[in-house]
Amino acid sequence: MKTMRDFCGWMSPEPTPERASRETLASIMAQRGQTGDGLDVRHAATGVLAATGSLCSLAEREGVLALISGRPRFVEPLRSGEDAATRVLELWRERGADTPRFIQGSFTLAIVDTPRREALLAIDRIGIETLAFAQAGATLVFSNRADLVAAHPAVAAGLDPQGLFNYLYFTMVPAPGTIFQGVEKLLPAQRLHWRDGRIERTFYWHLAYRDEPRHDFEEQARDFRQLLRDGVERARGDDEVAAFLSGGTDSSTVAGLLTDIQGKPARTYSLGFEAEGFDEMEYARIAARHFGLDSREYYLTPKDVLDIIPRVAQQYDEPFANESAVSAYLCAKLAADDGYRVMLGGDGGDEILGGNERYAKQKIFEFYGRIPGWIRGGLIEPFVSLPGIDRVMPTRKLKSYVRQANVPLPDRMEAYNFFHRQPLEAMFTPEFLAQVHPGQPLVLLRDPYQRADSQHFINRMLHLDLKFTLADNDLRKVSAMTEAAGIEVRYPLLDDALVEFSGQVPPDWKVKGNYLRWFFKRALWDYLPRPILTKSKHGFGLPFGIWLRDDRALAEHVRGRLADLGRRGWLRPDYIAQIQSDHQALHATYFGKMIWMMLMLEEWVAK
Same structural domain, 278 and 323: yes
Report, in angstroms and rounded to the nearest whole number, the Rg of the chain calculated over CA atoms. Answer: 25
Is 403 within the bounds of a domain?
yes
Cα 145 from Cα 130, distance rounded (Å): 8
The answer to whether 495 touches 227, Cβ cutoff 8 Å, is yes
Same structural domain, 423 and 479: no
Domain boundary among 162, 180, 203: 203
The answer to whether 261 touches 228, Cβ cutoff 8 Å, is no
| Residue segments in the chain with a per-residue pLDDT below the cut of 70 | 1-55, 537-540
CATH of the domain at 23: 3.60.20.10
Is 1 within the bounds of a domain?
no
The β-bridge relationship of strands 190-195 and 198-203 is antiparallel
pTM: 0.90
Q: Is residue 47 within a helix (H) or strand (E), and if so which, with residue range?
A: strand 39-48
Is 209 within the bounds of a domain?
no
Is 256 within the bounds of a domain?
yes
Q: Which domain does 299 fall in, by range? A: 217-348+470-534
Same structural domain, 342 and 383: no
Same structural domain, 567 and 600: yes
Is 119 within the bounds of a domain?
yes
Same structural domain, 362 and 261: no
Same structural domain, 326 and 432: no
How many domains does one find in the chain?
Answer: 4
- φ, ψ of residue 140 in degrees (nearest 5): -110, 120
Same structural domain, 530 and 601: no
Same structural domain, 487 and 560: no
The answer to whether 396 touches 406, Cβ cutoff 8 Å, is no
Domain boundary among 414, 431, 463: 463
Is 208 within the bounds of a domain?
no
Same structural domain, 159 and 97: yes
Is 539 within the bounds of a domain?
no
Per-residue pLDDT, 55: 60
Domain boundary among 426, 442, 463: 463
CATH of the domain at 227: 3.40.50.620
Same structural domain, 313 and 365: no
- Residue 554 exposure: Cα atoms within 13 Å on the Cβ side: 21
Same structural domain, 232 and 182: no
Q: What are the pLDDT digits (tens) for 363-414?
A: 999 999 999 999 999 999 999 898 888 888 888 899 999 999 999 999 999 9
Q: Please name which of 133, 136, 139, 150 lies closest in space to residue 186, comparing C-alpha atoms.
A: 133
Same structural domain, 144 and 33: yes
Is 422 within the bounds of a domain?
yes
